[in-house]
Amino acid sequence: MRHIIYDTDSRPKSRRILTYTAGHADDGRPARDVILYKWKLVAHDVARAKYETPDGITVNGEVAWVNRILHEGDILRVVITDHAPDRIIPTEGRLDIVYEDEDLICINKPAGIVVHPTHGHYADSLANRLAYYFEQKKEPHEIRTIGRLDKDTSGLLLFGKSRSAVGLMDAQAARGTRTKVSLALCEGECAESEGYVDIPIMRAFDGNIKRVAKDGGDPAFTSYKVEALYDGFSLVRLTLETGRTHQIRVHMSHIGHPLLGDPLYGNGPFTHPYSPDIKISRTALHASALAFDQPFAGNRIELTSDLPSDMAAFVTNTPVTGK
């Protein structure tokens, strides 16, 4: 007899339904093999499916345990549920949605907006806008960021719609199959066309948010390639092997090429060398490309984002001096 412990929490839930039709190679295998190895669900996901939902795990429409033996043609169905918290205030606001499916949503984030509510930004964060978007769609979801972007950084930012999806995406990052490429405008003309920065990063001793590149910190690895050289600055493509706070900003400043506009590791607002009316008033960093596997279906997804207008203005109004 199956013992069901129904969840009495009154908060709305999101439901992600996974289905799989057993093939010839699956004949005689237990359902757990599909659940654990094809979908890569963890024990907590399986427990919620078994005990929080009346039809959480079924085979051919009948409630089943994970040790149920599958036969060719059987249809396995698993329901993943998540509580949606009510602590984020839904706020109407523009969202540039680059990609969305049942498990993920990718936003092209503008510079100048924080990702999550913080002191002084209780209702004007990107998460507030996402909460409103999901509310209008009547799809309750917790706002779970995959990766991160600083307030002044623009570009692609991925969110997961369930704990399971986020866990699988984090595993991809650990394996190196989830990648992010960023573009930055850096002060000075880089002497090397490409390079690799292997310098630990740690919190500065003065207690503020600033980080420093210093032995004894956390390992940090950044690869860079110069896309073009301009009079007074460089357009650089960067990829990270680690995700330390302010990693790109710290590393590029450490090698003598801080990002244009960076008030913390560079020289702050930067004026165009030929057109004084064109300025960079924020850190000139843009997350331009993401590549990952869909967490359950497994298909490869590649997303891109063009340079935002402030960075593009510098590039298009300055002569190229080299590459």
Angle between helices 43-51 and 163-175 (to 10 degrees): 170
Domain ranges of the chain: 13-83, 97-322
Query: Per-residue confidence at 117, pLDDT binned at 50, 70, 90?
Result: confident
pTM exceeds 0.85: no
What CATH code would you report for 97-322? 3.30.2350.10
Helix (H, G, I), strand (E, B) or coil at 48: helix
246: left (phi over 0), alpha (psi -120 to 50) or beta: left
d(CA 291, CA 192): 27
150 labelled catalytic:
yes
Give whichever of 31-35, 52-56, 146-150, 151-155 has the largest mean pLDDT.
Answer: 151-155
Share of the chain above pLDDT 70, in %: 93
Query: Per-residue confidence at 4, pLDDT binned at 50, 70, 90?
Result: very low
Q: CB under 8 Å to 171, separation ≥6 — which residues?
A: 40
Give whichever of 36-40, 73-77, 300-304 has the largest mean pLDDT.
Answer: 300-304
Beta strands (DSSP E) in the chain are 13-21, 57-59, 62-63, 75-83, 97-100, 104-109, 144-146, 154-160, 179-187, 194-198, 201-203, 211-213, 221-230, 233-240, 270-271, 279-280, 285-293, 300-304, 320-322
Query: Per-residue confidence at 115, pLDDT binned at 50, 70, 90?
Result: very high
Helix (H) or strand (E) holding 46: helix 43-51
CATH architecture of 13-83: Roll (3.10)
Mean pLDDT score, 123-137: 92
- Judge whether residue 207 has pLDDT over 80: no
pLDDT of residue 294: 96
Annotated active-site residue in 26, 74, 150, 262: 150
Lowest mean pLDDT among 80-94, 162-176, 233-247, 271-285: 80-94
Mean pLDDT score, 133-144: 87
Mean pLDDT score, 197-225: 88
Task: Identify the CA nearest to 78 among candidates 63, 93, 67.
Answer: 63
- Judge whether residue 65 has pLDDT over 90: no
d(CA 235, CA 311): 10
d(CA 217, CA 104): 33
Mean per-residue pLDDT over the chain, rounded? 88
- Judge whether residue 178 has pLDDT over 70: yes
